Amino acid sequence: MTIQDEFSFIKSITPKTYRQPHLVAGIGDDAALYRGDSNVEEIICLDTMIEDIHFSKKTMKPFHIGYKALASNISDIAAMGGKPIFYLVSIAIPKHWSAEELAEIYKGMENLAERFQMDLIGGDTVSTKDSLAITVTVIGRIEKGKHLLRKNAKAGDIVFVTETLGDSAAGLHLLLQYGVDYSFTKDELALVRKHQLPEPRIEIGQLLADYPRVALNDVSDGIASELNEIAEASNVSIVIERDFLPKSEGLEAFDEKEQLKWMLYGGEDYELVGTIPQEHWTSVEEKCKEKGFLITKIGYVENGPSKVLLKEAETYRLLEKLGFNHFRD
């Protein structure tokens, strides 16, 4: 079934109830209204996903597309140490997308929104002749003064990353090779799910926000790119050790060169990578373990020009700021 009426479609995605008590007015007026709070800082982020550039029907079902569109923004909130509360969706719809498929996109977003108690409060719906495009804006909050920034790294800090790296890129590799409906093995399916249904690390971001001077990025473009951003913002050198990079059992089924490439440059893991003063590391490690989160020390910060080095045995290799680039790839 195709969409016949923009207004009936908007009515179909309008929430029946809202979760956030400080919302004054959601969908239904020219703009949404919510009450401010002098004790918090507001966080706003926005991402756009375009068909056949960021996703395709060969690798993602509509539910996955919606889920991931919201997850990528929630991950940005996590990298600030915040809590997501509201989201807005602008979607440009070509004729080859059915009403049923679009409903599944919004179900994917609602799946995450319910988990994090977020409210959909507005957006825009238009038609387009070519590819489907979806833009999501997320609004979050953090207690005043506790936000985490890239510029916080200093010499002597420990470099860390959450969970494992390279799984999303490996999952995409499998999906491009076999397609979304293929019967994957258990280990392969775990990699595929990391690409289709990434887990934003909100809880770990909030945990880290309780510590002073944490620098943090989410792994959207690969850790080589994310750590270069931290090094540039903080004007420091960062060294990571190859043997310390955490990887899943599923990733180990691939060639070692592919493993390393995906861990460093694959992107879309939506894990958190950052730095923390050495005196706080044991405490963070213990608290993450108590909550069932994996966090791994992968390197250290030094004085020096802004750069990132990979240490392999006794050799050092410069890691360039590579990863997905919309104007290069």
The reply, when asked if residue 225 is annotated as ligand binding, is: no
Q: What is 6-143's CATH number?
A: 3.30.1330.10
Give 244-290 pLDDT, tens digit per residue: 999 999 999 999 999 999 999 999 999 999 999 999 999 999 999 99
Question: Across residues 218-236, what is the average pLDDT?
Answer: 96
The reply, when asked if residue 54 is annotated as ligand binding, is: yes
Q: Residue 4: pLDDT band by 50, 70, 90 thresholds?
A: low
Question: Across residues 53-81, what is the average pLDDT?
Answer: 95
Q: What is the reported pLDDT for 322?
A: 75
Give 108-150 pLDDT, tens digit per residue: 999 999 999 999 988 899 999 989 999 999 999 999 889 999 9
The reply, when asked if residue 123 is annotated as ligand binding, is: yes
Q: Residue 328: pLDDT band by 50, 70, 90 thresholds?
A: very low
Give 62-75 pLDDT, tens digit per residue: 999 999 999 999 99
The reply, when asked if residue 76 is annotated as ligand binding, is: yes
The closest of 36, 34, 41, 39 to 18, measured between CA atoms, is 34
Q: What percent of the chain has pLDDT over 90?
A: 79
Q: What is the reported pLDDT for 326?
A: 37
The reply, when asked if residue 255 is annotated as ligand binding, is: no
- Is the separation of the CB atoms in 178 and 184 below 8 Å? yes
The reply, when asked if residue 268 is annotated as ligand binding, is: yes
Does domain 150-318 correspond to CATH entry 3.90.650.10? yes
The reply, when asked if residue 124 is annotated as ligand binding, is: yes
Q: Where are the beta strands (DSSP E) in the chain?
A: 23-25, 33-34, 40-50, 83-93, 119-127, 133-143, 158-162, 215-218, 237-241, 272-276, 295-302, 307-312, 315-318
Q: What is the reported pLDDT for 104?
A: 97
The reply, when asked if residue 242 is annotated as ligand binding, is: no
The reply, when asked if residue 35 is annotated as ligand binding, is: no
Classify each residue of 126-138 as buried b or exposed e, where b means 16 or more C-beta atoms within 10 Å of its C-beta.
eeeeebbbbbbbb
The reply, when asked if residue 220 is annotated as ligand binding, is: yes
Domain boundaries, the chain: 6-143, 150-318
The reply, when asked if residue 106 is annotated as ligand binding, is: yes
Note the pTM of the prediction, 2 decimals.
0.89
